[in-house]
Structure 1
Amino acid sequence: MRALVITGPNRAEVQDVARPEPAAGQVVVDVQRAGICGTDVEFLTGGMAYLHSGHAAYPIRIGHEWMGTVAAVGAGVEETWVGVRVTGDTMLGCGVCRRCLRGYQHVCEFRHEVGIRGGWHGALAEQVAVPATSLHRLPGSVDDAAGAMVEPGGNAFRAAQGADIHLGDRCLVLGPGTIGLLSALFAQAAGAEVHLLGRGERSLAFARSLGFAGVWGQDELPDLPWDAVIDASNASHLPGRALELVEPGRRVVYIGLAGVPSVIDTREIVLRDVTAVGVLSGSPGLAGTIEAYASGAVDPRPLIAATVTLDELPGILAGARPAGAGAGPKFHVAL
């Protein structure tokens, strides 16, 4: 089968590789749609932290935002899975450690991450093998495009959930990238008045097209009380700024990651009685995301700028935007 392989920094190509065989407890999925994100770009550039910590190494087959149809099952897996449209969790815990047994498999010390960590091959390929326990069924009301947006949506769902938003609250999201925009959509669906702060006219203009209450440049943010602040940026100064902006007694959610350490003053957290929430993974939010997509409460599809072929993907990862691409931040691959 054909798969996207990153062989080293700034070297990506489509290769012919062996088709996966399902081990016991696993399924093989015919991938129909997969997305790329900032993590995938970091693997291409060589900046991804796991490359330096030893949790990942070249060559690597990326792809952790996907949907498809189950084609085969391994021993111990019910045959009824065959033919079912699914997406899957990225975080594959060991299943036996204290964290896994208490429902925190997404932060298991020994976890694999599909297309990211521990050598588990990703879904930017014609097929992917994953544990049956990681699967989530997709209802007919969630089409292929939305199905491949469940994984990033799970992160955003958890960010909005972590912000403890109530009807009529005012929420500020820092960073209008994919996760920031999805977080804003989930916050809006929860009844908040949503504003975004960003930089770059193209991303700000696109965010404005989605109908939020306010979209602001770096020097334009109005002096308003913010009941929740979600930092979905990669700017090292914004975690501290988020803490300054949030109303006393409310919550800041940190889901973005800067390339260098950020500094916050914990005295601000204590003296203003603020709760700070970190979100690593969408795992606990995947089911809720599917429900929101299925009901129409949140529609992630406007964020998709273009759907390309596997052969076009190396150029997309390197920063190319194909002719006719929309203004959204997300690219999908149809397989």
Structure 2
Amino acid sequence: MRALVFTAPGKAEVLAVTAPVAAAGQVVVDVERVGVCGTDMELFSGEMSYFGSGGSTYPLRPGHEWCGVVSAVGDGVDEGWIGRRVTGDTMVGCGHCRRCESGRHWVCADRHELGITDGLPGALAEQVAVPAAFLHRLPGAVGATLGAMVEPGGNALRCVDAAGVAAKERLLVLGTGTIGLLVALFARARGVEVHLIGKTPHDLELPRSMGFTDAWTRDTLPAVPWDGIVDASTGHEMPALALDLVEPGRRVVYIGLSVPPSLIDTRALVLKDVTAVGILGASAGLAGAIDAYANGSVDPRPLVAGTVSLDELAGVLAGHHRPPGAGPKIHVDPRL
């Protein structure tokens, strides 16, 4: 089958690779759609920290935001999965350690991250093998575009839950990329007053077109109390800004990562009695994201700039071209 392979930093090729066979406990999925995210860009460039720790090596097959149809099952897997449209958890824990047994498999020390770390090739291919225990069924209302947005949506939903803001309270989201805008969508669906910060006035055009009129740059941000803050940016100075702006006794949620280390003053954290929460992975938010997409309370489709083929994606990653849409997310259809 055909698959996208990162062969070295800055190099991506579509290669003929061996098609997956469902091992015991696994299914094979015919891939319909895959999203490309910042993690994939870091894997492509070689900046991903997992290369330094040995968790990821080249050649690497990426793709962890996906959906498709189950076409084969391995030993011990219910054949009822065949023909089901599904997506799956990126974080695949060992299943028997203390963290997995307590329901925190996404921080398992021996986890595999599909399409990110070594051990589970990703979904930017015609087919992908996935452990059946980590599948989520997709209802008919969740088509290919929505299905490939479940993984980032799960991350965003976890951020909104962690921020602890109620209807009519005020949430500030730092960053207008995919995760920032998804956080805004999930929070708005709960009746929260959502504000966003972008780097430039141009960054505010898409959120405003989606109905988020309270979109600002740092220079224009109003001086009002913020009941919760989600930092979905990549600026190394933004975590400290979030801590400075949030109301005492409330919560700051960190999901964005900067390349250089970012610092906060823990004296401010203590003296303001602020709770800081880090979010890694969508696992606990996947089911809720599927439900929100299915019932129409959240529609992330305006975030998708367009859909390309595997062959076109290599050029997109190299910066030669990109789909014409305004959204930050690029999707891939491996069948094209």
Q: Do both share a fold (TM > 0.5)?
A: yes
The SS at the match of 1:219 is: coil
Residues 88-138 of structure 1 show CA distances to partners (whole Å, capped at 9, x for unaligned) of 000000111110010010000000000001231000000000100010000
- Note if contact 2:60-2:118 (Cα within 8 Å) is conserved in structure 1: no
* C-alpha displacement of 1:334: 1.1
In structure 2, the partner of 1:140 is: 140
Encode CA deviations 1:172-211: one digit per residue, 9 max, x unaligned. Answer: 0001000011011111111111010011343321121111
1:242 and 2:237 are equivalent in the alignment? no
Which residue identity is paired with 1:252?
V
Q: For 1:70, what is the secondary structure of its paired residue? A: strand
Counterpart contact for 1:193–1:213, Cα < 8 Å: no
Is 1:185 aligned with 2:185?
Answer: yes
Q: 1:52, CA displacement in angstroms? A: 1.0
Percent identity over paired residues? 61
TM-score between the two structures when normalised by the length of structure 2: 0.98
Alignment partner of 1:91 is 2:91: yes
Equivalent residue runs for 1:175-254 within 5 Å: 175-254=175-254
Paired AA for residue 297 in structure 2: A
TM-score, normalisation: structure 1: 0.98
How many Å separate the matches in 1 of 2:37 and 2:319? 12
* Superposition pairs of residues 1-335 of structure 1, within 5 angstroms: 1-322=1-322, 325-335=324-334
Change (3 A) 1:203 1:319: farther
- Which residue type is aligned with residue 103 of structure 2? G
C-alpha separation between the residues in 2 aligned to 1:151 and 1:36? 11
Q: Judge conservation of contact 1:3–1:14 (CA < 8 Å) in 2.
A: yes
Corresponding letter in the other structure for 1:270 = V
1:248 CA displacement: 1.0
Deviation at 1:213, TM superposition (A): 3.7
- Partners of 2:303 and 2:203 in 1: CA distance: 11
Quote the RMSD (CA, aligned, Å): 1.0
Contact in 2 for aligned 1:2/1:15 (Cα 8 Å): yes
**SS of structure 2 residue aligned to 1:56:** coil
1:65, distance to aligned residue in structure 2 (A):
0.2
Question: Which whole-Å CA distance do the structure 2 matches of 1:316 and 1:182 have between them?
Answer: 23
C-alpha separation in 1, matches of 2:24 and 2:188: 42
Question: For residue 314 of structure 2, what is the amino acid of its counterpart?
Answer: P
Q: 4+ runs of 1 displaced by more than 6 Å? A: none
**2:207–2:213 CA contact under 8 A, matched in 1:** no
Residues 49-105 of structure 1, C-alpha deviations (whole Å, 9 max, x = no match): 101110000000000000000000000001000000000000000111110010010
Contact 1:234/1:257 (<8 A) preserved: yes
Quick one: which amino acid aligns to residue 137 of structure 1?
A: R
In structure 2, what residue type is equivalent to 1:302? P
State how many pairs are aligned.
334
Following superposition, the deviation at residue 313 of structure 1 comes to 0.5
Identify unmatched segments of 5+ residues in structure 2.
none
SS at 2:183's partner residue?
Answer: helix
Question: Which amino acid in structure 2 is aligned with residue 262 of structure 1?
Answer: S
User: Which deviates more from structure 2 when the two are superposed, residues 183-192 or residues 71-80?
Assistant: 183-192
